[in-house]
Structure 1
Amino acid sequence: MPSRIYAITGAAGVLGGAVARAAEERGARLALIDHAQHACSTVPAGDNALHIGGVDLTDANQAGAAIEAAAERFGGVDALLNIAGGFSWEKVEGATGETWKRLFLLNVQTAENASRAAIPHLKRSAAGRIVNVGANAALKAALGMGPYAASKAGVHALTQALAEELKADGVTVNAVLPSIIDTPANRAEMPKADASTWVAPADLAAVMLFLASEEARAVTGALLPVTGRV
């Protein structure tokens, strides 16, 4: 049986790298898409990994070109994992509104552009999958989380709308909703927090790869909390 073909956006980040490494261990062929021009040393390399750098996924044309490059290299795309995104903490009072626009572009528009480009290929797959990264924080926004939570709520709505749109074609669309992911950046921002309660990138990757697998055929439109012990 041919190995699965995964297109992973935000592949140079901590979570993207964890997903890519876990997928490689499962024998997948990988299209690693990122805004960074050059691949970092922590992501897979070799004949089964195509690095597509310098991609602005907020631009529909660039997103489309990246997906087409993946499909041309490997003969299709079986699963799209939308990990690219961004975060900012900002209160509404005194803000200019630019953060709201930027986070919508980074979190919602990137996923929409990549998904739209991938849909024709996913429909041709025997088990087409889209897995998005939402946020548990979007279920109840805390102080200063307005723009981030609103943009991730947009990801949740996109997930559910696409699930309805594509279910007759056998393509499933789901989202994971992590709490705090255990990354170097989060540890630096919250040095006094108990990081042992956070979500390890490898654990979140395992959930995402299940949703991207052939076995997850009965799950679509799900917003799955992955919150560790937070």
Structure 2
Amino acid sequence: MARSVIVTGGFGVLGQAVSEAFVAAGDTVCRIDFAQTAHTPIAGVLDIGGVDLTDAVATQAALDAVNAAHGGIDVLVNVAGGFSWETLEDGAIDTWLRMQSMNLVSNATITKLALPLLTQSEQGRIVNIGAGAAISAGMGMGAYAASKSGVHRLTEALAAELSGKTVTVNAVLPSIIDTPTNRADMPDAVFSTWVQPGAIAEVILFLASPAARAISGALIPVTRGG
């Protein structure tokens, strides 16, 4: 039976790969994104653009549209987020606030609002995107790593909160993802060691599957090139 899946940040490279993987598995997918339109359409997918996931009213309206179109929510994959590299000495405090908003508050907002529908699912799944860089932050990574560390703690706390319900909550922690933006930003890097978006999508599909029903609160590193 097809499940109703939401992928936030679904218009980006990783969100696109995750959405395509769920469609290939026979699921019904909605992509929600801050961008107005997707660069690459996916046949049969419901796209909702222009949504600020830190805005509870806009986020609730998007969830209502998904519920009306797909009859509930079974899986929520929180891909939406952002990245910034700057040192504390030369950077701005606004960057710390922006990273918290983009990576943590957006995640917490849609997850909280989606819980009433997710808990009605027989096998509800929440999969968050953490970061390997949040385990030990290097120079210039403070604001980003702090926000992604918050995603890790959110994952653990919510998994404990939902321990008596049908919903599991896990996070994948990728190392550098092989995207055009990252290649442009780091042209001298060895790209073959970077993680492919499709490989991350496969891990997410497993965590969303019945086979992962006994896993909740896990922070799973995804570091192989793939």
Given that 2:34 and 2:49 are in contact with CA atoms closer than 8 Å, whether structure 1 keeps it comes out as yes
CA distance in 2, matches of 1:28, 1:63: 22
For 1:1-230, list aligned pairs within 5 A: 2-41=1-40, 43-46=41-44, 49-228=45-224
Given that 1:131 and 1:175 are in contact with CA atoms closer than 8 Å, whether structure 2 keeps it comes out as yes
SS state of the match for residue 36, structure 2? coil
2:15 partner amino acid: G
RMSD: 1.2
Between 159-168 and 63-72, the greater mean CA deviation after superposition: 63-72
SS state of the match for residue 119, structure 2? helix
CA distance in 2, matches of 1:113, 1:140: 26
Given that 1:64 and 1:113 are in contact with CA atoms closer than 8 Å, whether structure 2 keeps it comes out as no
1:44 partner amino acid: I
TM-score, normalising length: structure 1: 0.96
TM-score, normalising length: structure 2: 0.97
Report sequence identity in percent.
Answer: 54
Task: After TM superposition, give the deviation of residue 214 of structure 1 in Å.
Answer: 2.2
CA distance in 2, matches of 1:197, 1:142: 19
CA distance in 2, matches of 1:54, 1:102: 18
SS state of the match for residue 22, structure 1? helix
2:113 partner amino acid: A
Task: After TM superposition, give the deviation of residue 95 of structure 1 in Å.
Answer: 2.6
Task: After TM superposition, give the deviation of residue 229 of structure 1 in Å.
Answer: 5.2
1:122 partner amino acid: L
Gaps of 5+ in 2: none
CA distance in 2, matches of 1:137, 1:39: 28
Q: Deviations over 1:101-125 (max 9, x none)?
A: 0000000011101101110111110
